[in-house]
Each structure stands twice: as C-alpha cells, then as structure tokens.
Structure 1
Amino acid sequence: FIFDNFFVYIYSCILIKVTCVTSGTSTFDQELSFCSYFMGLKKYRDIYLISPSIEKQKQTFSFSQISDNPERVQYYTGLPDAASVLFLEALLSRFDLKYHSDWTVQMMPLLDQLFLTLIKLKLNFGHEDLSIRFNCSRGTVTNIFTTIVSALYDILYVGMLENNIPSRAKNQTSLPDCFQPFPNCRIVLDCTEVSVCNTERLDTQSHLYSQYKGRTTLKALIGVAPNGVITFVSNLYGGSASDKAITADCGVLQHLQPGDMVIADKGFTIRDILPEGVSLNIPSFLTNGQFTQEEVNNNRKISCARIHVERSIQRLKLFSILHHIPHQLKKNINKILKACVLFWIVLCVYSGCYNIKTT
C-alpha cells in the first residue's frame, strides 16, 4: 500500500509537469497542483523511506535494556546482577585502554563495550551477530572484544589471581566436611579441554589432537581449593599434552610447600615431580585383581573430595566460549580462559558457592 501510493505520487507529478510543458501554458492552478503533489511525494519519502532508515540506525542493543532484570543480566553476561557489571565498568574507566586495532571506539559507551564482551564470553555469539545487535562493523566487534578482554586480564587476573594460591592454614578456615580426612590438602588438580578448529598443518593438528576427546582441543590445568574456589589456571596446551607434562610446565608446583597435599585423578602420576615434602593423594590402581577395603574407603573419600573440582569446571563451562574457541581469537585464548575464571569467581561470590559442605 505504501509503495503503491508512492509510485502514484511519482506518476501524478510527472503527468502534471508534462501537461504544463506540452500545452505551452502553465496556469497557476496547474503549478499549484504540481507543487502539492511534489510536497506529498517529499512527505512520503521522509516518512516511509528516510525515517525508517534513520530509526534503524538508532536501534542498537544496549545494557540499559536489560539492566533492571537480574535474570536477563545473568543470561547475557554470566554475572549475577547489574551492580557487578557496573563495578567492572567503573574499574575499566579508571584505566587508559589501549585498543587492539590502534583506533579508539568512540561511537559506543564503555558500558556497552563491556556488555558486548561479556555476551561473547557467555553466549559465544558470532561477530556478525554482535555487529548487527550493536549496529557496528565486525572489525569494531573484534577491536572491542580483544581490548576489553586484555584489559580485564591485566587489571584483575594479573593483579588478583596470579600467584595467589591460598595456604593450608587459610584453606582450613573453610574446610568442607568431605575434606576432613585431608586437612593438609592445598589444592585439587584436574584438566579441562576446549574444542578448537582443525588446522591444515598436520604437525599442528597432531599436537592438538586429544585421544580422550577424539578431536582437536586445547587443554588447561585447573586448581581448586577445598572450599570449591578456583585458585589456579594454567595457559592452554595442545590436546595431546599429558596431565603430567602440563603440571610440570605450568608453574603450579612452585607454589607448593613442604607438608602440602595434592589431590588429583589417576591420570596425575606426578609423585616423582612434586617438590620435596609435598604428598600426592590419588585413587589406587587395581593391581591384585581387587581393591582392599582400605583402598576402597580411600578411593571413596578422594572421589568425594574431587567432586569440587569437577563442579567448578562444570560451572566454568557455563561460559559458552569455552565450548569452542573461534579461530580468529586463537591469539587471545589464554586471556579469554582466565577472564572466564574471574567472572566465575564473581558469580560464586554472589551466589554463595564457596564454603560448600559436602558430606
């Protein structure tokens, strides 16, 4: 209907003007009629063609649209409420951001740049999707995401989590019931894997291929305190790397002191690389056809304690970007992983996941 009337206006304007020209006369009424139709045409152009285009340019997804709904905030960002997002925005605003692409993003407020980054981490929307939602180019999405992730890593991870594994004494102040048999436990270790795309280079693909997952992955060591808090996260290694090789290389052992105990799964045959005075408690291997009663009891206690690290990794995987790292973000994978750990900790603080009393 709109376009029918639009073309009627065009036809009428042309017809009136042609009549004036061919007749050799231009009466006042004819010119007035032409002007009226022309103004009508301009009105239709402004209302139905230009205005929608302008409105479309104005429409963009923003944090203000969801900030008053905690459920939506948590869905899009992984954080519990608007206050936690605003806290991060205030923290970022105190620092001079060095944009990844060497040009500053000025058309989007810092809060929405943070919002875009959190959405990417939590839901792993594609860059094309985010560029449509936030009415910007894909290059701008990449520039924002890489910059904000790097800033959060530098400000929060390096300043708070790196080199900050709690001592045994500190762990004992919040020791869950299932860790009572292991009062000297300093850390519980396990590995997690993140799917990545195949590469064309066979040597690289072999390095990334995980026998356990049956596909190309990246693998990181996660350390969890007895109360369920992630206190250590390594860089990502190729999926073919063994648990022992990662443990030896990632630097976690340098934090351990004589008298500490490490709890881990059977795959962590790391007793020979532990610092002197540090003990290892892993489930017993079946050697004589069946476990002794003592081994059964010890395995049950270890399994009960290890459930903390498994639950922590499960919660960490709520950030969908850790299901599959896009190829274009491979240079920032370690910062992405550690940013997700930071947000996981914030979420746990708010939701009371710490001090879990598992019997």
Structure 2
Amino acid sequence: MKLKQNFPQSDLAFRFGIDQSNVSRVLQQWIPMLAIHFKPLIQWPNTTFGPTSPPYDVLPNSVGIIDGTEVLFNAPVTWKLKNHPLVITSHTTVKYLVAIDTFTGVFTFVSPGFSGNCSDRFTVEHSGLLDIVQPGQRILADKGYTARDLFAMKRCFLTIPSFLLDGRLSGQEAVQSRLIASVRIKVENAIKRIKDFKIFTETLSNRTNKKMIDDMIIVCALCNLKPTLSNA
C-alpha cells in the first residue's frame, strides 16, 4: 500500500488501527528486507548476444539501453555523493541510472541515487555500471550520455545519437540516430512501469532517508515480474 499507492503514514495507521510510529517502524524494517530478497531479480547479462532483427541488425551486440529517472523531494536535501568530495546542495530531485534488456525490457541495472543536478556522464562514471559491463557489449543511450571513452576503456561500446555538425547529419548518422530513438521507446515504457508505483510519482518528504529511497527503487525488480516489453 505504501509503495503502490503511497498512502500517508497517518492514513495507514488509521486503516490498521496502530500508532503512526509503528507504521514507520514496519516500513523501515520491511522495505530494506524486500530490497535484499528482490535484488537478485536485477541481473546484468554476461553475453554479447543481442537482438538481430531490425533495427538491431545495424546495432550489433546491443545488450542494454540506459536512461535516467528522478524522484522529487519537497525541499532541498544535502547528500555527500559516493566517490566524490563535493557536497551538492539546493536541489529537489534524486537521479537514478537504470538499464533494461534489449530483448525483454526487464531491468538489468539500477544505480544508487545521485543529486539531481549531476550530469549523465557523472552518473555513469560513479554508478557501478562500468564495473559490470562485459567486453564487446553495446549499450544504447540518448545524447546526454557522453561517456563513450569510459565504456571504451572497458572494451565495450556506448552508442548515442550523433551530434549535428555544421547544422546537419550525414545520411548514415541520421539513419542511426533514428534507429536509436526508435529502440529507446522501450526504456521509456519500462520507466513508466516504475511510475505506476505512486511512491515515485508523488513528492517525498526531505526527511526520507536516502538509503530507504535506494531500497524502494527495488520496485524495478517487481516490474520485472510483469509481462515482458518485447513487443513494446
């Protein structure tokens, strides 16, 4: 009821006839436990084999599509980011990097939360994704993920739409950009499934613990239990 409908704790206390403090205690105990048990449902593929039907026939070894999703807070919060000395303040969002499987649309990676004003490149570099990608794999993304060099160091490929040069694209670049845009619809549909959980569509209190939010993003694993997005 909390994850799916985001009922206030006072409402849940009334419904179940308990103190609001008990509601808070139950959530703090069970959400991390759910995260532990459902996390194995999110696994990165260890193969370079990707779809071969159009449009993937010109994007070989495409095993994943990455994108970002954000959670809103009703007031600024201050978090010290992992592996980064800077404390970023005055923001109202937390950003997550997610990846889906190109065959089925299931989530294969979910990052820890980052400050909403972090760049897409920063989230890639510090998310842990680079630690699990395999040589030869191709990952698709939008233009914001200017991190080809980071993936190249892991001997894999990041394919993003081409940037305009002198106001135009070559014929091949235009075709590839349209193909990437067409397959990215699948990751957008996958993220819509996250938003079915109202905990991620309604603004959260800035008193919410970051670890708790990172645990709640495990709803991606629950989304993986739904029918695949292979025909999306």
TM-score class, shorter-chain normalisation, is: 0.7 to 0.9
Q: Please tell me whether residue 353 in structure 1 is matched to residue 214 in structure 2.
A: no
Q: Please tell me whether residue 148 in structure 1 is matched to residue 30 in structure 2.
A: yes
**Are the aligned partners of 1:265 and 1:282 in contact in 2 as well (CA < 8 Å)?**
yes
Match of 1:262 in 2: 139
Match of 1:123 in 2: 5
Give the C-alpha shift of residue 327 in structure 1.
Answer: 3.1
Match of 1:336 in 2: 216
Q: Distance in 2 between matches of 1:193 and 1:304?
A: 22
Q: Which runs of 5+ in 2 are unaligned?
A: 81-85
Give the C-alpha shift of residue 357 in structure 1.
Answer: 3.2
**Are the aligned partners of 1:168 and 1:185 in contact in 2 as well (CA < 8 Å)?**
no
Q: Distance in 1 between matches of 2:217 and 2:154?
A: 31
Q: Distance in 2 between matches of 1:297 and 1:208?
A: 40
Deviations 1:252-301 (A, max 9, x none): 01111221111111000001211342112100101112222222211110
Q: Distance in 1 between matches of 2:143 and 2:48?
A: 27
Amino acid at match of 2:6: N
Match of 2:204 in 1: 325
Aligned counterpart for 1:280 among listed residues 144, 158, 171: 158
Amino acid at match of 2:215: K
Q: Distance in 2 between matches of 1:277 and 1:238?
A: 28
Runs of 4+ in 1 over 4 A off after TM superposition: 169-172, 203-206
The structure that has the greater radius of gyration is: 1
Q: Distance in 2 between matches of 1:182 and 1:251?
A: 24
Q: Distance in 1 between matches of 2:162 and 2:144?
A: 11
The total of aligned residue pairs comes to: 222
Name the SS for the 2:164 alignment partner. Answer: coil
Two-structure CA RMSD over aligned residues (Å): 2.3
Q: Distance in 2 between matches of 1:256 and 1:200?
A: 32
Q: Please tell me whether residue 186 in structure 1 is matched to residue 63 in structure 2.
A: yes
Please give the TM-score of this superposition, normalised by the length of structure 1.
0.58
Q: Which runs of 5+ in 1 are unaligned?
A: 1-118, 210-215
**Are the aligned partners of 1:199 and 1:205 in contact in 2 as well (CA < 8 Å)?**
no
Residues 135-284 of structure 1 aligned to structure 2 (within 5 Å): 135-157=17-39, 159-161=40-42, 164-169=43-48, 171-172=50-51, 177-199=54-76, 207=89, 209=91, 216-227=92-103, 228-274=105-151, 275-284=153-162
Do the aligned partners of residues 208 and 341 (structure 1) sit closer, same or farther apart at CA in structure 2, a change above 3 Å counting? farther
Match of 2:83 in 1: none
Higher helix proportion (structure 1 or 2): 1
**Are the aligned partners of 1:177 and 1:357 in contact in 2 as well (CA < 8 Å)?**
no
Give the C-alpha shift of residue 143 in structure 1.
Answer: 1.1
Give the C-alpha shift of residue 237 in structure 1.
Answer: 0.7
Amino acid at match of 1:295: E
Residues 25-174 of structure 1 aligned to structure 2 (within 5 Å): 119-157=1-39, 159-161=40-42, 164-169=43-48, 171-172=50-51
Q: Which has the higher contact order (CA 8 A, sep 6+)?
A: 2
Amino acid at match of 2:97: L
**Are the aligned partners of 1:176 and 1:226 in contact in 2 as well (CA < 8 Å)?**
no
Over the matched positions of the two proteins, sequence identity in percent amounts to 29
